[in-house]
Amino acid sequence: MKKLRILLALLFVLVGTMGFAQKDTLHTKKLYPRPPIYGIPAKTLPHGHLIYRSYFTYSDFTSMYSSKQGQMVSLPSNMSFTTYAYTPKLRYGLTNRLTLIANFPLVYKVMRKDNLTKIGRGVGDIQTAMLYRFYFNKQKRFLISGLLYSKLPTGKATQITTGELPLGTGSYDVGVALMPEKEFGKLDMRLSAFYIYRSKNPAGVDLGDVQMVSLSTAYNWSRNFITEATVLYKYADNNRKAGQVLPGTYVKKAQLVLGAQYRLSRTFLLQTAVPVTLYAHAPFSSKYDLWIGFFYLW
């Protein structure tokens, strides 16, 4: 109940702020030529416009959390764990200030240890969101948007056989985010503060809530070429079962994400990013991931 009260309070603040939003005098179309490379953009789409964005991610996990040692350790030499994911993402401008978002991840993961191989393949957890821009100062090139987020447990998480890996958490998640963004000529600065409430999974485990903060800076070298650097911090509370804390189940991760973007045409862009892990306390962690994507704007 405490977690639910926190989430409701955040929703109240977010919706209340939207109610005092300034009059929309912005021609929104001027905003979309400078999208972020990694993460969720604060800029909404013009009414009736659609973006198809998709990205491929690759992770080769090199460490894991050992409950026996109480710390992260290297994967045993006889063990490997790799994941691949392709995520189509749709964004549609319902109005100039309200954008609808939906992600549909397709996941393939494989874990090998000695002669045993476990594989997970299929649809992961679908994510949806509503992005609302409630403040914009045209002269100072400063805007603030809010996000309402949800995740559905569409990825297989129950009745996992010996040779399978789960594709989702099995929980219904809801969350809110606050995202201010400012442009300084060719330099962009973005901040994102995210809170996610997670429900129980099918095993009766109350998954810990997630808090994420990221700070990004991007430099527009030209209209066609952008580089970006993001510092991301993620923390998830310990899981609970029957009201009891499951020690050591919290997740803590800090990453430096380096990215670049090239515009092939006015509405077609290629993007790539390398999230480098600076610190991790998680079931599994990789030194770095590879993220390649593109999007097309209609």
> Distance of CA 269 to CAs 54, 263, 290, Å?
11, 4, 17
pLDDT (mean) for 99-123: 94
pLDDT at 14 over 70: no
Q: Which residue(s) pair with 229 in the sheet?
A: 217, 258
CA–CA gap between residue 83 and residue 152 (Å, rounded): 20
Query: Phi/psi class of residue 241: alpha, beta or left (left: φ > 0; alpha: ψ in -120 to 50)?
Result: beta
pLDDT at 33 over 60: no
Chain segment 190-224, per-residue pLDDT in tens: 999 999 999 999 989 999 999 999 999 999 898 88
Q: Please give the mean pLDDT across all residues of the chain.
A: 87
pLDDT (mean) for 13-19: 43
Write down the pLDDT at residue 266: 78
SS3 17: helix
> Domain ranges in the chain?
2-297
CA–CA gap between residue 85 and residue 73 (Å, rounded): 25
Contact, 117 vs 111, CB < 8 A?
A: yes
Q: Is 266 exposed, middle or buried (0-12, 13-18, 19+ CB in 10 A)?
A: exposed
CA–CA gap between residue 41 and residue 39 (Å, rounded): 7
Write down the pLDDT at residue 9: 47
Write down the pLDDT at residue 15: 43
Q: Which amino acid is at 112?
A: R
Contact, 190 vs 213, CB < 8 A?
A: no
Rounded to 5 degrees, φ, ψ at 73 are -135, 160
SS3 34: coil
Question: What confidence category does residue 30 fall into, taking pLDDT thresholds of 50, 70 and 90?
Answer: very low
Q: Which is higher by pLDDT, 97 or 34?
A: 97
CA–CA gap between residue 258 and residue 203 (Å, rounded): 37
Question: What is the value of pTM for the model shown?
Answer: 0.85
pLDDT at 37 over 60: yes
**Looking at domain 2-297, does it have CATH number 3.40.1190.10?**
no
Chain segment 135-165, per-residue pLDDT in tens: 998 888 899 999 999 999 999 998 888 899 9
Going by C-alpha positions, the residue among 263, 273, 247 that lies closest to residue 295 is: 263
